[in-house]
Structure 1
Amino acid sequence: MSRDEVDRTLARLRDEKERISTALLELEVHQGYQLLEGAALDGETLRVQSEVRAGMASLWGLFDLYGRALGAAEDLRARHPKPGQAQLTELTRLLAGPSVELPVTEVPLERRTLLSVPSGEKLTLRAAVERMTPLYEEVAQAVAALDTVWSALLSRLAEVEAERRAAEDLLHSLGGAEPELDRLRAELDAVAALVRGDPMALARGDRADTGRLDVIRTGLAEVRRGLEEAERVRDGFADRLRGVAAVLDLLRGTEAEARRLRDEVLAKIASPVLPDLPDMSASLADRLAAVGRPGQGAAAARGGGWTDLAARVADLEKAANGALERARETAGVIRGLLDRREELRGRLEAYRVKAARLGHAEDAELARIYDRARGMLWTSPCDLRKATVTLSEYQQAINARAKGTNR
């Protein structure tokens, strides 16, 4: 090389060295690399850690040897502002020749002789960079893959642990025990140990498998909702019981109304098809008495039974509201038979007025049908089916006469 070529090459290699150094330092401060450092790992993640450490050691080792060779060239050039042929030859060897000597490695047994001396491999600066490049890519890819998986798992783990703490705080406030929370806590501890000790065991390709954490989180959320309901029961226990009692009062009134309507229907309607009478108020009142007996709230507080009590109150509220709805439906069905009679009465009178308006007030046949229908509808018990048929006959007769009048 000429002096200018040496100087241009030195400038290029200094820039190259700076860029390599920056890349290696950035890799070491990468979050995935930092996660590996100092972590007590096992399984697949331990293997990744070992490979990354070995790869980084090789990279820094090669880079150090690369820097030494480049440094030797820089020192030689600095000592000789006007290098002669000997110095240029040496600079050429350092910058373009095999100036990077790798550590001596043990010669394989099959290549040894009795007097053989192990010797190290020598590389050019360019060959050293070419050897560092795939090493760097392998380490960077391993670190990036680990970071993707581990970060996702740690993020989801933090969410699940927050859900667990929320449930634990509620349980502490309520007192007592929650077996399902204990089971989920043990399951979470096992998965958390795996996340922190061998996250790659939970990798599916280049993505994290958060399935187990998701199942635990769903279970914890369900437990938390149950505990929140228990807390609401505890805080509004008396009001909840008064609410159920009010619904039962309405239920008793509706059941009594259904019985009264049934008796009236049996007296006024012939052969009615009636639904079974609602009769739930007594049994629900017994359940309310059991839940609301004196000292029940205090016993729940002492024994940690607010969760169970919450479930019982919620079931009782649901049962009471459902019974009231069904009782109202039954009363409506029974009342419908009486309403049907009143509807038929109204229609009969409307048809009579229509007949008179058409000039058939003295029509003997119409009067005979009318009297027969009226006798059915105003006689107890009333045969609704026959009354409906007779009313239809009366309507048809009036319509026939109306058509005749129109013609």
Structure 2
Amino acid sequence: MKDLDAMSGLLAVRLGAVRAVPSGVGDLARFRDSWPERSVELHAAVDGLGVAETAAAREFAVVRAKVAAPGLPTPPRAAPGLRARLRRADAMARRRQWARVAADCAELDEAVTAARRRADELHAAATALLRRRDELRGGLEAYVAHAAAAGLSSGHERAARLLDTAPCDLRASARAVEAYRSALAARLGKR
């Protein structure tokens, strides 16, 4: 994910020049002259989006296998459509339709940026669900160790069973871990 973040930042900086749509003849001439580099940058941005969407889809698959009712939408798939739009822009450039290429370029930049942001947000949401499951497991293990050190019998089985079930119901697991923590605190307080 660190590589994806670095690539996203680099592409956002490099694509900043693409945002302005040329309006005059001189602007169009400059746009035409810069098109090869801009095209390469847009292709790289769409490729980076494809990588981000693939990563999000993989994380979604893991979450769906491990977490019940995660509430995640369908994984994003904007890259193929944007790639097709970019191929059309390249074709218009070969036909020297610079005003249309410039307009499409600005729209593509905005679409790629928005799609990348969405893919990154959804990837983070999926990762957060897995992290929450791991936090609940770690918390339960710590409570069980604390109970064992105090010489208390268990009582954590329901929470452990819920956390070990795939897919895991995070809400029920959180309630079970909290119930165990509360019961343990009450038992330790009575000693």
Fold equivalence (TM over 0.5): yes
Which residue pairs with 2:137 in the alignment? 345
The residue type equivalent to 1:402 in the other structure is L
Matches within 5 A, 1:48-127: none
Which residue pairs with 2:171 in the alignment? 385
The residue type equivalent to 2:187 in the other structure is R
Partners of 1:333 and 1:249 lie apart in 2 by: 22
CA RMSD in angstroms, aligned pairs only: 2.1
The residue type equivalent to 1:269 in the other structure is V
Partners of 1:229 and 1:356 lie apart in 2 by: 74
Does residue 235 of the first structure (1) align with residue 52 of the second (2)? no
Greater relative contact order: 1 or 2 (C-alpha under 8 angstroms, separation 6 or more)?
A: 2
Which residue pairs with 1:317 in the alignment? 109
Residues 22 and 31, structure 2, Cα contact 8 Å, conserved in 1: no
In structure 2, the CA distance between the partners of 1:256 and 1:298, relative to structure 1 (3 Å rule), is closer
Secondary structure class of the residue paired with 1:290: helix
Q: CA deviation at 1:393?
A: 0.6
Matches within 5 A, 1:318-333: 318-333=110-125
Secondary structure class of the residue paired with 2:120: helix
1:267 equivalent among 58, 65, 69: 65
Residues 270 and 382, structure 1, Cα contact 8 Å, conserved in 2: yes
What 5-or-longer segments of structure 1 have no aligned partner? 1-223
Residues 67 and 169, structure 2, Cα contact 8 Å, conserved in 1: yes
Partners of 1:334 and 1:312 lie apart in 2 by: 32
Q: CA deviation at 1:283?
A: 0.8
Partners of 1:338 and 1:277 lie apart in 2 by: 16
Does residue 371 of the first structure (1) align with residue 157 of the second (2)? yes
Which residue pairs with 1:245 in the alignment? 43
Q: CA deviation at 1:278?
A: 0.5
Partners of 1:381 and 1:298 lie apart in 2 by: 52
Does residue 401 of the first structure (1) align with residue 187 of the second (2)? yes
Matches within 5 A, 1:274-313: 274-293=72-91, 296-297=92-93, 299-300=95-96, 305-313=97-105
Which residue pairs with 2:147 in the alignment? 355
Which residue pairs with 1:257 in the alignment? 55
Identity across the alignment (%): 34
Matches within 5 A, 1:109-148: none
Q: CA deviation at 1:390?
A: 0.5
Partners of 2:71 and 2:148 lie apart in 1 by: 36
The residue type equivalent to 2:134 in the other structure is E
In structure 2, the CA distance between the partners of 1:330 and 1:232, relative to structure 1 (3 Å rule), is farther
Residues 46 and 83, structure 2, Cα contact 8 Å, conserved in 1: yes
Partners of 2:22 and 2:43 lie apart in 1 by: 25
String of CA shifts for 1:210-234, please: whole Å, max 9, x gaps: xxxxxxxxxxxxxx96336534421
Q: CA deviation at 1:326?
A: 0.7
Q: CA deviation at 1:374?
A: 1.4
Q: CA deviation at 1:403?
A: 2.8
TM-score (norm 1): 0.39
Which residue pairs with 2:15 in the alignment? none
Q: CA deviation at 1:387?
A: 0.6
In structure 2, the CA distance between the partners of 1:395 and 1:288, relative to structure 1 (3 Å rule), is same
The residue type equivalent to 1:267 in the other structure is A
Residues 22 and 102, structure 2, Cα contact 8 Å, conserved in 1: no
Which residue pairs with 2:5 in the alignment? none
String of CA shifts for 1:236-287, please: whole Å, max 9, x gaps: 1011111111111121112222222222222211222112321111110110
Q: After TM superposition, which residue ranges in structure 1, 4 or more long, deviate above 4 angstroms?
A: none
The residue type equivalent to 2:100 in the other structure is D
The residue type equivalent to 1:310 in the other structure is A
Partners of 1:288 and 1:344 lie apart in 2 by: 45
Which residue pairs with 1:41 in the alignment? none
TM-score (norm 2): 0.79
Residues 229 and 307, structure 1, Cα contact 8 Å, conserved in 2: no
Partners of 1:319 and 1:386 lie apart in 2 by: 39
Q: CA deviation at 1:298?
A: 5.1
Secondary structure class of the residue paired with 2:107: helix
Partners of 2:176 and 2:105 lie apart in 1 by: 54
Secondary structure class of the residue paired with 1:292: helix
